Structure 1
């Protein structure tokens, strides 16, 4: 279930009422559904979906009360689950989520004395604090920042001006510079009969102790799992980190780095400026990604990769030198 500090559960709905004209109930249309979840973590009252046939094994093992699948996957669903057949499993699931849970809105503001641990907390002019916010001693919140409902901020933190911070748990000694956007919805869309629709983003952002987040950097909350930034990691200005990413401890990210969703980064990894990482990539401990590199494959621990698509740096440099020689030879041939 999504964290109740950030999401509220709505009344249960009969499965048949969730389906509408985007699918057809194969069995169990009267089952009451109270939540949505991935196949791996869904419970008896949850709706899950399968859109990738490569994950058929997870479908067979799920404990979900109901599943949405393509027609050719019905026989793989567990006997205990109600089944919905649809050409658009993820979209139907996404639409259903809106009827079963909703983000807690900033409908009213909390008093500083209610949110602050003690008098050492400084809240500058124009700050808005949502209900349920908690701020540890010695923390300072910059002018005109908005701290969303339920956010927990540790001790000795520094939050700059014009920061928005929502759906987040923040450790001790964290620095967030001006204009950063933490906990906004990640980018995800699913094909539906009416065109692409947004996929719900029901996770959180967790910033562990002594993380630094640069000015105007964006860190998206998870789609269902959490986006996690490990202890002591330092992130430069204008960096984008997508939903469900797990960044290890003591990493360094230079400006304009972009990390797509569901990337796993080990401890002590370094990113040069304007490095880019494709989704669902794993980067091992101590790896180094050169400036401007485009990572489209897993990077082993301790290696340095560069170029586009990124490769081990020696291979990348050899290819660059060979290409330069070929280009130079063709130019000389024209001159002759």
Structure 2
């Protein structure tokens, strides 16, 4: 279930009522009651999951979901124990179910300094806004006009710059976040529907482990359901984008203008040059290096350096670049003859 520090779980709903609210068709199990949503792999008998792609058929076969939403053509794949709703747009229907069952806790009024700060060693510059249930550890400084959202937990001896927004986040000790960073905003997720794209509710968190540095104006999106995680001692430059559900390992170095799409897995000690772009659901092995400007569209094995667009092992990239340059030079020479 979504973290109760950041999300309200609303009233339970009968599956028959839910089908009507999300525009689906009830197949069976209308009297079952559901209390939340979850992915197929982690759903339990009180939650709703969906099948939007045949590549998740194995997950459907083993799910414990109390209710599943799927296309009419896939009804036979539903577990016999689950209530079933069919939809031509299962992900959009699931998104509507999420909105009916969960709601983010908003910053509708501020908490007092004594409620949030561990002791008097916490330093707050003018204009800081503190949400209910937030907690800031000893020795931490928060810059002017920064907003700490409800439930956010910040460790000890952190340095938070001015005009930062922190929401749906758990921050370790000795973390530095420079001015203008946006941590925990909703990730970019949309599902197609007959009425146009539907926003997919983002019900996860951001976790920044001890010793992390986040540059100015960098954005790290919270998870869609799982967490977005940045590992210990990783250093992220200014103007970097990290999408929802990414897991960045320890000691990563990520230079400015790098963009990492959703659900990327990065091992320990990985380096990204400036303006690198990483496609979604990519895995990058421990100790790998991504050259500046590279466009990564395939998994990178541990220890390798990749460059180019689409990115490939750097020796291959250099050989192809040299060969191409020779072909251009040869053609020009033939033209003069």
TM-score range, shorter chain: over 0.9
Cα offset, 1:204, TM superposition: 0.2
Other-structure match for 1:2 = 2
Give the Cα separation in 1 of the matches to 2:304 and 2:275: 18
Could you say which residue in structure 2 is the equivalent of 1:262? 263
Shift of 1:202: 0.2
Instruction: Report the Cα distance in structure 1 between the residues aligned to 2:115 and 2:160, rounded to whole angstroms.
Output: 18
Q: 2:83 maps to what in 1?
A: 82
Residue 203 of structure 1 corresponds to which residue in structure 2?
Answer: 204
CA distance in 2, matches of 1:121, 1:281: 39
Deviates more, 1:33-42 or 1:206-215: 33-42
Question: 1:35, 1:153 → 2: CA distance?
Answer: 28
* Further displaced range: 253-262 or 27-36: 27-36
Q: Which runs of 5+ in 2 are unaligned?
A: none
Which secondary structure does the structure 2 equivalent of 1:54 belong to?
Answer: helix
User: Could you tell me which residue of structure 2 aligns to residue 11 of structure 1?
Assistant: 11
Cα deviation, residue 114, structure 1: 1.1
Cα distance in structure 2, aligned partners of 1:328 and 1:57: 53
Partner deviation per Cα, 1:88-143 (whole Å, 9 max, x = no partner): 01000001111101000101101111100010000100000000010000000000
Post-superposition shift, 1:326? 1.1
**SS of equivalent to 1:83:** strand
DSSP-derived class of the 1:300 partner: coil
TM-score w.r.t. length of structure 1? 0.99
In the alignment, what sits opposite 1:48?
49
User: Shift of the alpha carbon at 1:298?
Assistant: 0.4
Equivalent residue runs for 1:239-278 within 5 Å:
239-278=240-279
Partner of residue 216, structure 1: 217
Q: Does 1:307 align with 2:305?
A: no
Q: Hey, what does 2:162 align to over in structure 1?
A: 161
Deviation at 1:32, TM superposition (A): 1.6
Correspondence 1:176 to 2:177: yes
For 1:120, the equivalent position in structure 2 comes to 121
Give the structure 1 partner of residue 26 of structure 2: 25
Per-residue CA deviation, residues 221-269 of structure 1 (Å, 9 max, x unaligned), is 0000000000000000000000000000001000000000000000000
Aligned to 2:130: 129
TM-score (norm 2): 0.98
Q: Secondary structure at the match of 1:26?
A: strand
Shift of 1:12: 1.0
SS at match of 2:332: helix
Output the CA distance in 1 between the equivalents of 2:310 and 2:232: 29
- Is 1:316 aligned to 2:279, yes or no? no
Q: Secondary structure of 1:279's match?
A: coil
SS at match of 1:119: coil
Partner of 1:232: 233
Following the alignment from structure 1 to structure 2, what is the Cα–Cα distance between the partners of residues 234 and 222?
20
- Is the CA contact (8 Å cut-off) linking 1:22 and 1:193 kept in structure 2? no
Q: Which residue of 1 aligns with 2:66?
A: 65
d(CA) in 1 for partners of 2:45, 2:30: 14
Partner residue in 2 for 1:91: 92
User: What's the C-alpha RMSD, in Å, of the aligned pairs?
Assistant: 0.8
Distance (Å, rounded) in 1 between the aligned partners of 2:2 and 2:102:
8
SS of 1:78's equivalent in the other structure is coil
Structure 1 residue 28 displacement after superposition = 1.0
CA contact (8 A) 1:22 1:88 kept: no
- Structure 1 residue 144 corresponds to structure 2 residue 145: yes
Alignment correspondent of 1:108: 109
> In structure 2, how many angstroms separate the alpha carbons of the residues matched to 1:72 and 1:57?
16
1:188, 1:142 → 2: CA distance?
A: 31
Cα shift at 1:33: 1.5
